Amino acid sequence: MKKLFFTALLLCVVAGVYGQKKVLKSAEKAFKKGEYAEALTLAEQCANDPETKDDAGVYTILGKSKLFQFQADQANVELAREAYAYFLTAIEKGGEKVKEDLMTVPILNGEGQFLGGGDGIALMQELLNRAGNAAFETEDYAKAHEYFSLSADSQENIVLDFYAGYSAYSADMNEPALKYYQKVIQSTEEFENTAYAYNGMIDIYLKNEDLDNALTVIKKAQEKFPEEKLYKDYEIDVLIKADKLDEAINGLKKSIAEGSADEVAYYTLAYLQWSSDNFTDALASALKAIEIKADYGDALFIAGSAYFNQGAELLKEANLIDDNKAYEAKKNEAKDKFKMAMPYFEKCIELKPDDVYSMNPLSTVYDQLEMDEKRDAILKRIEELEGK
């Protein structure tokens, strides 16, 4: 009796397992007939049954059914996302053989319709990439990002990482843009748009006034592209914004010492030194820039301003002196500085006749040197320009 009972129980168990396997077969048949909703219902039943819940085929059918629902109009990216989640579970249950099957390359016609071949992850990626390109071409960047990001998440592909980042950047979606651009710059693969990813990250951080992260990315970009001067300029700009003038000055000096001694480098150094009230060094750097390019207006202005500020400081000192002889001596020193400033400001105005920034200090120079006629003429010109 006991043996008979055990045999009967075993038959019931086998019948139960067989029953669930039959349900799975029915799900596969429904999928092949294009009855995706029915296939999903049957496969979900198998996924919830203890006898078949660990069968990789269950999740393969679930994933493929979701994927072909997505293929219908490709508008609902969530369907593709759900399909991918099922595919990952299938791989987890079935191992490398299942993964290999799901990565089989699909065959599509010119309109992107499935003709044969792989109908798993590789098909999903192909559909997502095509949909992403279509959205990108119509400048629907947020939608393009949905497609590209899922495709990028499903494989290691620097091109897709870039377009997932670029589409997010174009849609002002900063966090995802940073995420995918970060993957691009971390890759060791040679890629033509890596610099663009660096630039995008720098731009996002600067817009958010996140100067520390901007500097971090700029320095990485300099390591990656040591010949690119743009990143040196970025670094100086950010250091200025971050009130790190000393660090910026030292960085420029190092850059010049290493051979980047063009007029722009010397002018930038002069500007930083001038901003730090170091007029002597600013003058020396500006004169170096002018040696290289005699009509460099910005450097001419710094040179004139350095002499002008030195003269103004001497004039302040003179006004504190009681002794007439000492006062006159100090005042004459100030006038000498103003005389030295004059040709630089005049050259600035020669190069740019409406340069009010140079006219203002030059009018003071003329006044201090008692050149009243020139002073009045330039003051009149300033009034005309500012009255426009």
C-alpha 186 chain-centroid distance: 13
Q: Cα(279)–Cα(244) distance, rounded to whole angstroms? A: 18
On whether residue 88 sits in a domain, the answer given is yes
Distance (Å, whole) CA 239 – CA 257: 19
Angle at 267 between CA 282 and CA 286, to 5 degrees: 45
DSSP 49: S
Within a domain: residue 69?
yes
Q: Is residue 285 part of a domain?
A: no
In three-state secondary structure terms, 232 is helix
Closest CA to 47 of 14, 86, 8, 75: 86
Assess if residue 40 is contained within a domain: yes
Give domain status of residue 74, yes or no. Answer: yes
CA angle 325-326-330, nearest 5°? 120
Domain total of the chain: 1
CATH of the domain at 45: 1.25.40
Does the residue 30 lie in any domain?
A: yes
Structural domain includes residue 29? yes
Residue 249: what pLDDT?
87
Structural domain span for residue 98: 18-103
The residue assigned the tokens 């901003």 is 275
What are the CA-CA distances from residue 371 to residues 34, 239, 300, 310 (Å)? Answer: 94, 41, 22, 20
Using CB atoms within 10 A of its CB, is residue 332 exposed (0-12), middle (13-18) or buried (19+)? exposed
What pLDDT score was predicted for residue 110?
Answer: 78
Q: Where are the alpha helices (DSSP H) in 103-228?
A: 121-137, 141-153, 158-170, 174-186, 194-207, 211-224
Give pLDDT, residue 21: 77
Written as tens digits, the pLDDT of the chain (388 aa) is: 444 444 444 444 444 445 567 889 999 999 999 999 999 999 999 999 998 999 999 999 999 999 999 999 899 999 999 999 999 999 999 999 999 999 999 988 877 778 888 899 999 999 999 999 999 999 999 999 999 999 999 999 999 999 999 999 999 999 999 999 999 999 999 999 999 999 999 999 999 999 999 999 999 999 999 888 788 778 888 888 888 888 888 888 888 888 767 898 899 899 888 888 888 999 999 999 999 999 999 999 999 999 999 999 999 999 999 899 999 999 999 999 999 999 999 999 999 999 999 999 999 999 999 999 999 999 999 999 887 5
| Residue (of 303, 373, 312, 368) closest to 340 by Cα position | 303
pTM above 0.85, yes or no: no
CA 23 to CA 320: how far, in whole Å? 102
Could you tell me if residue 75 is inside a domain? yes
- What pLDDT score was predicted for residue 19? 56
The CA distance from 184 to 220, in Å, is 13
